[in-house]
Chain A
Amino acid sequence: MCAMNRKIMAVYWLVTAALFAAAVGMVFIWTPVESTMGIVQKVFYLHLPVAINTFVACMITFIAGVGYLWQRRQVWDDLAVSSAKIAVLLCSVVLLTGMIWGHSAWGVWWTWSPRLTFSLVLWLLYVAYLVIRPSIESRQRRALVSAVYAGVAFLDVPLVYLSVKLMPEIHPSSITLASEMKLTLLVCFVPVTLLSAGLIVCRFIMQREETRAMDSEDDTQTDPVPVGSAGGLT
């Protein structure tokens, strides 16, 4: 990465960190404590933005998969795997924050309600996506299988969203918030989205560098044997 890009990324991360600090300040100092759930309700300001960003990361993987099937360019596969890694990370945060919420609201860390179950399935789908990739030796084949898998795995995203409407559920489908709470929630969306986008971009840059390194390694291995070296006709 060139020096200019490094500076841009440094500024980007500083802005994200500052916004995060501001959002945390708003959550704990300015926003009132919810009367029923108390301080644990604060986890909601992280839970919802991260959940929305998980869906976006899954959608990027899906779009990149379609892009690969359409154009067969490695760059699409690199983007797909980068966003899938961040999707798993974000989905883990969603599940953990959801469990904290659930323990306070329902008295159990986990319950098999449709939205929770389909969220866990989503996490499993993308973990499986990352786990099966290294098992496929050929890079083209790996990208192709992953692209198809990403397309099928993405079907779980609308199911997570629609599960509260389609099936009987204890997970809230809509929440009435005070105006300060609404504003805080909107503010929290900004640093979480910046963090998710930044992570995907950074992972994508690393993935591209790994791909270039593998390309040059392949080129070295397939270089023709120089005339007169061992193995030639004498």
Chain B
Amino acid sequence: MTRVLQQIALVSGKDLRIEARSRQTLGLVVVLGVLIVVVLGLGLGPQQVASGMAATAVLWVAYLFGGVLCFEKTMAVERHDGALAGLMLAPIDRGVIYVGKLISNLALMVALALVVTPVAVVMFHFDLSAAPLGFAAIMAGGFIGFAAIGTLFAAAVSSSKLQGGLLAMVVFPVSLPLVITSTQMMMRLFGEGEPLGMTGVSVLVAFDAIYLVVSWLVFELILEP
């Protein structure tokens, strides 16, 4: 068990070290996220912005586009100089590679959220102080499922020599149940002041669990050098 954890830490640590040294993905993703928030803020107009409830939807748009870019970049790193073939030759389970990539993607998405969320909170007059833990829990639930499925399809799409936009085409519809559930929960939590309902939490946890297990099982089949 400790050995597996060490292997996961090695794979994700490698990705995060590359990112820390190059700072290519995070810079791009954060700027894109802020741009999305600003453009949607201008597009929605002062009345929608003043309501404060548009922030959650706007944040999800920023997370979705930023997330897809993260998934693409973390897999694209492996395409250079046949690095993926080397990784696949390493005496580790393919599931370990999946979990390592998933953790890297989650770390990048959390970094994106840490920058973009305060921007949206300020611009959309969103009262995050009403339930900061609830917000973090819902977003964590959404992020895990989104990153789980995004990491899987990034490996599939990356192996298929597809154009970048198509990963979004694959991942967005599959992530919609997560987005819908979490925005509904946010509206109840912040709009109506209700506590987190068990139904919404159950749906989020169920989707996270299914996406994680399915992706972990199938990753081996889909990964090709």
Chain A: residues with CB nearer than 8 A to chain B? 69, 114, 117-118, 121, 124-125, 128, 131-132, 135-138, 141-142, 144-145, 148-149, 151-153, 155-156, 159, 166-167
Q: Does residue B170 face the partner (Cβ distance < 8 Å to A)?
A: yes
Complex Cα–Cα for A208 and B221 (A): 25
- In the bound complex, residues from chain A placing their C-beta under 8 Å from that of B214 are 148, 151-152
- In the bound complex, residues from chain A placing their C-beta under 8 Å from that of B166 are 132, 135
Interface stretch, picked from B5-13, B59-67, B153-161, is B153-161
Please state if A132 and B169 are interface contacts (CB–CB under 8 Å).
yes
Please state if B210 and A145 are interface contacts (CB–CB under 8 Å).
no
- Min Cβ gap B207→A in Å is 7
- In the bound complex, residues from chain B placing their C-beta under 8 Å from that of A167 are 184, 199
Please state if B210 and A155 are interface contacts (CB–CB under 8 Å).
yes
User: 5 closest pairs, A vs B, by CB?
Assistant: A125-B173, A136-B160, A121-B176, A124-B173, A128-B173
Please state if A118 and B169 are interface contacts (CB–CB under 8 Å).
no
Given contacts A148-B152, A148-B222, A166-B199, contact A121 B177 (CB under 8 A): yes
Please state if B210 and A149 are interface contacts (CB–CB under 8 Å).
no
Q: Report which of B162, B173, B199 forms a contact with A153, defined as CB distance below 8 A.
A: B173
Please state if A141 and B184 are interface contacts (CB–CB under 8 Å).
no
Q: Report which of A117, A124, A135, A144 forms a contact with B162, defined as CB distance below 8 A.
A: A135
- In the bound complex, residues from chain A placing their C-beta under 8 Å from that of B156 are 144-145, 148
Chain A at the B interface: SS class: helix
A-facing mask of B130-170, CB < 8 A → 1, else 0?
00000000000000000001001100110111110010011
Complex Cα–Cα for A117 and B181 (A): 11
Residue in B closest to A126 when the chains form the complex, CB atoms:
B173
Complex Cα–Cα for A152 and B151 (A): 14
Chain B at the A interface: SS class: helix
Please state if A132 and B170 are interface contacts (CB–CB under 8 Å).
yes
Given contacts A128-B169, A132-B166, contact A153 B174 (CB under 8 A): yes
- Min Cβ gap A168→B in Å is 9
- In the bound complex, residues from chain B placing their C-beta under 8 Å from that of A141 are 159-160, 224
- In the bound complex, residues from chain B placing their C-beta under 8 Å from that of A135 are 160, 162-163, 166
Q: Does residue B53 face the partner (Cβ distance < 8 Å to A)?
A: no
Complex Cα–Cα for A159 and B210 (A): 13
Q: Does residue B180 face the partner (Cβ distance < 8 Å to A)?
A: yes
Q: Does residue B211 face the partner (Cβ distance < 8 Å to A)?
A: yes
Please state if A118 and B222 are interface contacts (CB–CB under 8 Å).
no
Q: Does residue B110 face the partner (Cβ distance < 8 Å to A)?
A: no
Complex Cα–Cα for A155 and B208 (A): 12
Please state if B177 and A159 are interface contacts (CB–CB under 8 Å).
yes
Please state if A125 and B221 are interface contacts (CB–CB under 8 Å).
no
A-facing mask of B193-225, CB < 8 A → 1, else 0?
000000100010001001100100010011010
Given contacts A145-B156, A148-B221, A152-B211, contact A121 B173 (CB under 8 A): yes
Complex Cα–Cα for A153 and B175 (A): 10
Complex Cα–Cα for A203 and B140 (A): 42
15 A-B pairs whose Cβ atoms sit less than 8 Å apart in the complex: A69-B218, A125-B176, A128-B172, A131-B169, A132-B170, A136-B160, A137-B161, A152-B214, A153-B174, A155-B207, A155-B210, A156-B177, A159-B177, A166-B203, A167-B184
- Min Cβ gap B54→A in Å is 15
- In the bound complex, residues from chain A placing their C-beta under 8 Å from that of B224 are 141
- In the bound complex, residues from chain A placing their C-beta under 8 Å from that of B173 are 121, 124-125, 128, 153
Residue in B closest to A117 when the chains form the complex, CB atoms:
B180
Residue in B closest to A120 when the chains form the complex, CB atoms:
B176
- In the bound complex, residues from chain B placing their C-beta under 8 Å from that of A121 are 173, 176-177, 180
- In the bound complex, residues from chain B placing their C-beta under 8 Å from that of A145 are 153, 156-157, 160, 222
Complex Cα–Cα for A114 and B54 (A): 19
